[in-house]
Structure 1
Amino acid sequence: MTIEVEARMRLIDVEIDRYDWSTFECGCGKTAAHLADDLRLLAEAQSREGARALRIDDHALIQSFPQEPAVPVAAVLMAALSGDLAVGARVVCLDLLLRLVDTDDEDSAETCQSIARQGLWGLYRDLWSNTHPDLVIYAYLVLRVIETDEERLRTYRDSGRIQLPDHLAD
């Protein structure tokens, strides 16, 4: 196991361990105690299909309404995104993060946005990487919600390095 993978796993474990998941009501109707292991599996997933199969979104959100574990899930996603995830897992994390920062519950959305802003430069790294089109798109969409410096985001977007679909090049 490389140092980066070991560090990422420790970050995720520390962030997961900050919460008593059994005190949260999960989107599945049970306690969220199972989410701790599910989030670890998400970080270890080697494909988008494997990451999506965990259905963490169904536990943190019901449609666009955040459930009790939404904010802790956002924090764990940011810890996961700080490390070296497989592209598929990274895309799934960013997809879920987008839905957590842009929900129908303003309080939850604002808290998740604040959490995501703490990892702003990691999101710019994903945007700038051009590793995978979906990775770039989701990083950009999250940044559109959380970035308070619109000029900075516009500068990166218009740099010529980032490949975005025409409908996002506003």
Structure 2
Amino acid sequence: MRGKEDKPRISPLVPDPVVAEIARHDWESIVCGCGRSAGHLVDQLWDAAEGHPSAYRALEGHAFQAGQLRPPAPAVCGVLMAVWSAGPPRLATREALLWTLLALASTEDDGSPYEAGLYGQCAAYIRTNVGSLRLEAVTRPDTVSAAYVDGILELLGLAA
């Protein structure tokens, strides 16, 4: 008999690349910022991928907290960038996603020049789609989304 955690989750709102990114990580082996296994974040990430803005803000305390990244941060960032690449249609979802990326990018860098650390891994995920982030800021100037994008790019040293 399969348990709840063994059932593959299916949603017509979640594109295949996002499903693949969620499945790629061994969430149970990652210690969450709340002290439990990060396996409980999977449902939250599905909710985020389905377009629920509150699911993004709820990542605080799990992937990042008080200016520090927590071990699930790179995997979470990978999922967020997969969602971003899929193009969330609702403005509230885009803004929540960008707010979360800004929160991740504005944390204290825990790496060194010789290792990526959690921060470097998150930055690498964000850098994979800088072009579409810039496009968001250009096509929606003077918006909250543009301000978040500008902050992200500035923090990563990619501001124009």
Same fold (TM over 0.5): yes
Structure 1, unmatched stretches of 5+, are 154-170
Matches of 1:57 and 1:129 in 2, distance apart?
Answer: 29
How is 1:79-98 mapped onto 2 (pairs within 5 angstroms)? 79-85=82-88, 86-98=90-102
Q: Give the SS at the match of 2:62.
A: helix
Higher mean Cα deviation, 71-80 or 92-101? 92-101
Q: Output the CA distance in 1 between the equivalents of 2:151 and 2:24.
A: 28
Query: Relative to 1, partners in 2 of residues 1:95 and 1:127: Cα closer, same or farther, differing over 3 Å?
Result: same
Say yes or no: does 1:137 pair with 2:147. yes
Q: Given the two structures, how large is their TM-score scaled by the length of structure 1? A: 0.75
CA offset digits 1:110-156 (Å, max 9, x no partner): 221111111111111211121771111111111112244x5xx2xxx
Alignment of 1:67-86 (within 5 A): 67-85=70-88, 86=90
Give, as a single letter, the amino acid of the residue that structure 2 aligns with 1:102.
Answer: S
Q: Name the % identity.
A: 27
Rounded Cα–Cα distance in structure 2 between residues aligned with 1:75 and 1:83: 12
CA RMSD in angstroms, aligned pairs only? 2.3
Aligned residues: 143
Question: In the alignment, what sits opposite 2:8?
Answer: none
AA of the residue aligned to 2:95? V
How is 1:50-61 mapped onto 2 (pairs within 5 angstroms)?
A: 50-52=54-56, 55-61=58-64
Alignment CA distance shift 1:29-1:144 (3 Å)? same
**1:78/1:119 contact within 8 Å kept:** yes
Residue identity in the other structure for 1:67? R
Q: Does structure 1 residue 106 correspond to structure 2 residue 116?
A: no
* Larger helix share, 1 or 2: 1
Residue number in structure 1 paired with 2:50:
44
For residues 59 and 34 of structure 2, what CA distance do their matches in structure 1 show?
A: 10
Whether the 8 Å CA contact 1:61–1:70 is kept in 2: the answer is yes
Q: Relative to 1, partners in 2 of residues 1:7 and 1:14: Cα closer, same or farther, differing over 3 Å? A: farther
Q: Report the TM-score, using the length of structure 2 for normalisation.
A: 0.79
Match of 1:158 in 2: none
8 Å Cα contact 2:133/2:149 also seen in 1: yes
Unpaired segments of 5 or more residues in structure 2? Answer: 1-10, 112-117
